[in-house]
C-alpha cells in the first residue's frame, strides 16, 4: 500500500460524491454525496498522516468530522422547513428565484 493507493481510492470516492451531487435531485441524497466527498478527504488526510509521520492530518480529519456534523444539522433543518412549506423535495421544482 503506497501513496498512490490512498490517492486513487480517495479520488474515486470524491468523484462518486461529486457525480452524486450533480446527478441526484433530492437534497437529502445530495447532502449524503457531500458527506461522501468529505469522507474521501478524511481518508486522504489520515492516509497521508501515517505516511508523513505527522499528526496534523489526523487532527484535521477530526475537525472535519465535527464541522460536518454541525453542517448536517443546519442542512437537515433547512430541508425540513422546505418540506413543510412545499411538501416535496425535488431541487428542479424549487425554482421561485430565477432570472
Measuring CA to CA, how many Å separate 79 from each of 14, 53, 92, 95, 99? 23, 41, 14, 15, 23
79 makes contact with other proteins (CB under 8 A):
yes
- Residue listed under C-alpha cell 480517495: 10
How many residues make contact with other proteins (CB under 8 A)? Answer: 47
8 binds other proteins, rule: CB under 8 A: no
Q: Does 99 bind other proteins (CB under 8 A)?
A: yes
Among 2, 85, 87, 92, binds other proteins (CB under 8 A): 85
Q: How far apart are CA 10 and CA 34, in angstroms?
A: 14
CB of 46 to other proteins, least distance (A): 10
94 binds other proteins (CB under 8 A): yes
Note every long-range contact of 7-11, with CB atoms under 8 Å and residues 24 or more positions apart, other chains counting: 7/44, 7/47, 9/43, 10/40, 10/41, 10/43, 10/44, 10/47, 11/40
82 binds other proteins (CB under 8 A): yes
**Rounded to the nearest whole angstrom, what is the least distance from the CB of residue 55 to other proteins in the complex?**
6
Site string for other proteins, 32-51 (x = CB under 8 A): --x--xx-xx--xx--x---
Amino acid at each position: 500500500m503506497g501513496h498512490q493507493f490512498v490517492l486513487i481510492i480517495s479520488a474515486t470516492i470524491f468523484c462518486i460524491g461529486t457525480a452524486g451531487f450533480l446527478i441526484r435531485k433530492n437534497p437529502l441524497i445530495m447532502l449524503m454525496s457531500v458527506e461522501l466527498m468529505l469522507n474521501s478527504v478524511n481518508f486522504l488526510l489520515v492516509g497521508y498522516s501515517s505516511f508523513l509521520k505527522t499528526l496534523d492530518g489526523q487532527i484535521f480529519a477530526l475537525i472535519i468530522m465535527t464541522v460536518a456534523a454541525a453542517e448536517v444539522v443546519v442542512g437537515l433543518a433547512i430541508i425540513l422547513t422546505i418540506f413543510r412549506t412545499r411538501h416535496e423535495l425535488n431541487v428542479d421544482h424549487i425554482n421561485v428565484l430565477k432570472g
